[in-house]
Amino acid sequence: MKKTSTRLADGRELIYYDLRDDTVRDAVDRRPLERTVTTSEVRRDVLLGDSVAIASHRQGRTYHPPADQCPLCPTTGDRLSEIPDSSYDVVVFENRFPSLAGDSGRCEVVCFTSDHDASFAALTEEQAALVLDAWTDRTSELSHLPSVEQVFCFENRGEEIGVTLGHPHGQIYAYPFTTPRTALMLRSLAAHKEATGGENLFDSVLERELAGERVVLEGEHWAAFVPYSAHWPYEVHLYPKRRVPDLLGLDEAARTEFPKVYLELLRRFDRIFDERDGGKEGAGESPTPYIAAWHQAPFGTLEEFEGVSRDDFALHLELFTIRRTSGKLKFLAGSESGMSVFINDVPPERAAERLREVAS
């Protein structure tokens, strides 16, 4: 991997990640952009104990542009985009419309490929490995920023999820606090460790799932399963079998196997509702909308979670879709949105069985 850092016309950082070490990246951003001005502010909710990012400048962000005006495609001739070069392998740049900025953290965009009509599932294993390298490098770099406590790499896919740019891409949020979901995991981790005399909760969950009926696929170094209490209709958790706190902790064997396992998982998601591949749910569906979310240990102090260290946390990816059956979405209505109590219409055991049925 070759890494080349440059600056866009408005001062934002852009980084090329290339497969070839001899690739030269010297294209200049020719757009007449002024310096980016953001209004991001993090406000604490004293009743719930969580935080909300107020970012009014995002109202003006790019919204469903036609393919020939996509800002994530390479620059060609007089058609200028966020990427100055005429081609790229993987690119990461500071978001022009960030939810978090300055003392409130940082937001970045990750372009998986220059091919506008592709998807992550369509990448080669070599390309997927390069994305993993980019995620890992950005996790390392962002963790050293004084305002950053937790790094979150994720992909939103599909208009149903709320994606406004069709180009295959993900994002990285660098939060100035430990996120509420991670805090819940850490509290459960601490309570289990105390109750069992030192047993690790993540290890116990993985061991239980591997011995059960909800395993979707398993490699030598990775395991994917539908969790016992899945919140979403089709939800899969992907764990490295050797517990590490973050992407930086993955050894070479796990990094090598990841692309094959993850690409197969994404391709199965695309076949869940496709009758042409042996499915029973329906044909003619658009590609399955999903969210893929990496959970990593915070880089800040964990003093409030007594007895727990970063090494107790288990890196894992949670992949889920909001589509519950052909032509129907799972909406977060009264119970979910009002009380944070999920109601899942698809039994996790059936979801796992379905994901095994559509194996390639």
Asked if 156 contacts 170 with a C-beta cutoff of 8 angstroms, the reply is yes
Q: Which residues contact 304 (CB under 8 A, 6 or more apart)?
A: none
SS3 assignment, position 49: coil
Helices 125-143 and 252-271 cross at an angle (nearest 10°) of 120
| Whole-angstrom distance, CA of residue 186 vs CA of residue 171 | 24
Q: Are 323 and 289 within 8 A, CB to CB? A: yes
Active site residue 169: yes
**Angle (nearest 5°) at CA 254 between 249 and 260:** 135
Q: From residue 240, how far is each of 73, 319, 338 by CA, in Å?
A: 33, 14, 34
- 20-45: b (≥16 Cβ within 10 Å) or e: eeeeebebebeeeeeebebebebeee
Cite the DSSP H helix spans in the chain. Answer: 125-143, 180-196, 201-210, 252-271, 339, 348-357
**Considering 167, 169, 237, 316, which one is annotated as catalytic?**
169
Q: Which of the residues are catalytic? A: 169
